[in-house]
């Protein structure tokens, strides 16, 4: 893909800045936590796809596989480990100021790990080249964003992956709809 206007706009709004702004919108934090905790979604990848969508772009599925595996390892080995430690200490922190301070340190480290992960997603996207097309123009209709996110993030499809847990599937779909409602549809450059 060689759409210099879209790529330039992508470079001008770093993924981290986009993620912070989106996360602050009503319902997005809860939607992201639901998708992370109930459906096992990597929120950094989710935010990456939302960032691309808002710029009228999508990641090429063929090129995406290697970076997904790399970023998944980071999430599991670094971010999820910090998150689990922080969550494990929550009950103790209610009665112990030292543990409370430790949790705050772990939370800062977890946030920094997520920031690093988002920076790596961004670097990957911006290194798209003629030899390796990583990004394509998105033709996603604003009304189909939730379904597109679902299809992009769930392989196998959500219905097969969560077939035994109707409540989780419903919560996941509602979270995707809530998130999609907060995304701005990219207008074609003039």
Residues 118, 145, 27: CA angle, nearest 5 degrees: 70
Model confidence at 14, in pLDDT bands (50, 70, 90)?
very high
189, pLDDT greater than 50: no
What's the pLDDT score for residue 158?
57
Q: Tens digits of per-residue pLDDT, 22-54?
A: 999 999 999 999 999 988 899 999 999 999 999
Give a yes or no: residue 8 inside a domain: yes
Burial class (CB in 10 A: 0-12, 13-18, 19+), 156: exposed
Of the candidates 110, 89, 145, the one whose C-alpha atom is nearest the C-alpha of residue 36 is 110
pLDDT tens, residue by residue, 141-160: 777 888 889 888 886 555 55
Tell me, what's the pLDDT at 5?
Answer: 74
Let me know if residue 139 belongs to a domain.
yes
Give the per-residue pLDDT at 136: 86
Q: What is the pLDDT of residue 53?
A: 92
Confidence at residue 187, expressed as pLDDT on a 0 to 100 scale? 55
What is the per-residue pLDDT for 190? Answer: 38
Is 57:1 a contact under the CB 8 Å cutoff? yes
| pLDDT tens column, 109-140 | 999 999 999 999 999 998 876 667 788 888 88
Question: pLDDT value at position 6?
Answer: 72
Q: Give the domain extent around 46.
A: 4-180
For 165: left if phi > 0, alpha if psi spans -120 to 50, otherwise beta; the answer is beta
pLDDT at position 155, please?
A: 65
> Does residue 65 sit within a domain?
yes
Strands, E assignment, the chain: 57-59, 135-137
What is the longest distance spanned by two Cα atoms in the chain? 58
Task: Tally the domains of the chain.
Answer: 1
For 75-112, the pLDDT digits (tens) are 999 999 999 999 999 999 999 999 999 999 999 999 99
pLDDT of the residue at 9? 81
Residue 71 lies in a domain: yes
pLDDT above 70 for 181:
yes
Q: How much is the pLDDT for 90?
A: 97
**Residue 190, domain member (yes or no):** no
- What confidence score (pLDDT) does residue 143 get? 77
């Amino acid at each position: 893909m060689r759409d210099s206007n879209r790529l330039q706009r992508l470079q001008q709004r770093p993924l981290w800045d986009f993620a912070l702004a989106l996360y602050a919108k009503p319902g997005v934090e809860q939607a992201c936590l639901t998708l992370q905790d109930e459906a096992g979604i990597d929120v950094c990848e989710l935010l990456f796809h939302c960032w691309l969508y808002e710029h009228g772009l999508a990641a090429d599925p063929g090129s995406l596989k290697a970076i997904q595996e790399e970023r998944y390892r980071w999430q599991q080995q670094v971010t999820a480990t910090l998150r689990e430690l922080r969550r494990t200490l929550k009950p103790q922190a209610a009665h112990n100021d030292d543990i409370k301070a430790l949790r705050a340190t772990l939370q800062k480290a977890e946030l920094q790990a997520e920031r690093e992960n988002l920076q790596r997603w961004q670097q990957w996207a911006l290194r798209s080249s003629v030899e390796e097309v990583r990004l394509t123009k998105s033709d996603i209709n604003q009304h189909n964003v939730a379904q597109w996110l679902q299809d992009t993030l769930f392989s196998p499809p959500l219905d097969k992956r969560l077939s035994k847990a109707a409540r989780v599937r419903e919560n996941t779909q509602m979270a995707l709809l809530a998130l999609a409602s907060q995304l701005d549809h990219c207008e074609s450059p003039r």
